[in-house]
Copies of this chain bind each other. A is one copy, B any other.
Amino acid sequence: MALRYLTSAAAQQLDRDLMSVGGFSIDQLMELAGLSCAEAVYHTVPPTSSPRVLIACGPGNQGGDGLVAARHLQHFGYSPQVWYPKRNAAPLFEVGAVQSDQRLVTQLQNLGIEFVDNDAFDTKLETTDAVLDAIFGFSFRGEPREPFKSALEAIVSVQKRRSLPVLSVDIPSSWGVDSGNGESALSQSFMPDVLISLTAPKLGSRAFRGKHYLGGRFVDGPTAAKYDLNLPKYPGTSQIVDITGVEPSN
């Protein structure tokens, strides 16, 4: 089998399709995306002795996936720590987006999940057992801005010194969604251990060589056909499927 890898433009159009003709709300998609990410963490770092997972959340919807993942990880027996320095700046006319962000934070606060201060990321990074990179997603363009650039550089630095499982959502943050990891020094040095592609892999992730999961078990037949996704079969009731080593069809 072979899987279709999507451009950034196609991924954004597919997302719009899911929320228009697909009938999905952002809350539903984010819930299942975050659950997929949490399951990938579970398969990477078993939840013995409540391992710490530092979840780096970006300013867009991918940050929301990270917040949902944090909630599920707490229920799975982990000790998530959430770094969320730039709250969702979506304009009010994006129905549900801002409300959703505030609600997700409330859910985590009610679980007693620790929010890491903006400047405490490096300190928490020293002692965490895993990192979930939910900083930049399939709409990312250009160069990473602060404080995310420094956070990614800090992850690279710790990866050089000790074993630290790093999982990225959709595209390793700083990589070009279409172009991969060739353009900036940061993208050349940042290599997560695990990638969780949501709905379908992105073109830029063809350069990724670690463990690769696909999540987002909600795509209907017409959408899969429109984008020629050729989706694999998911096992059992799992929200993720291992696609490590599966070749791109394009």
A residues lining the B interface (CB < 8 Å): 21-25, 27-28, 31-32, 38-39, 42, 71-72, 75-76, 96, 99-100, 102-107, 110-112, 217-218, 220-223, 234, 236-238
Contacts and interface: CB of A to CB of B under 8 A. Distances in A.
Given A23-B104, A107-B218, 10 more contacts: A21-B106, A21-B110, A22-B106, A22-B107, A22-B110, A23-B106, A24-B107, A42-B236, A75-B234, A237-B238
Given A27-B28, A218-B71, A223-B110, A237 B39 contact: yes
Given A28-B31, A71-B218, A218-B75, A23 B110 contact: yes
A225 to B, nearest CB: 11
With a 10 A CB-CB cut-off, give which of A23, A71, A75 has the most chain B CB atoms.
A23
Contacts of A217: 72, 75
Nearest to A41: B237
A110 B28 contact: no
B110 A25 contact: no
A18 to B, nearest CB: 9
A108 B217 CA distance: 14
A68 B108 CA distance: 24
Contacts of A28: 27-28, 31
A132 to B, nearest CB: 15
A237 B38 contact: yes
Contacts of A99: 25
Contact of A111 (B103, B104, B220): B220
Given A27-B28, A103-B24, A107-B24, A112 B221 contact: yes
A243 to B, nearest CB: 16
Contacts of A221: 110-112
Nearest to A38: B237
A222 B72 CA distance: 17
Report the 4 A-B pairs with minimum CB-CB distance, sorted nearest first: A23-B106, A27-B27, A110-B220, A23-B103
With a 10 A CB-CB cut-off, give which of A27, A106, A222 has the most chain B CB atoms.
A27
A218 B112 CA distance: 13
Contacts of A218: 71, 75, 107
9 contacts: A21-B106, A24-B107, A25-B99, A42-B236, A75-B217, A107-B218, A110-B222, A110-B223, A111-B221
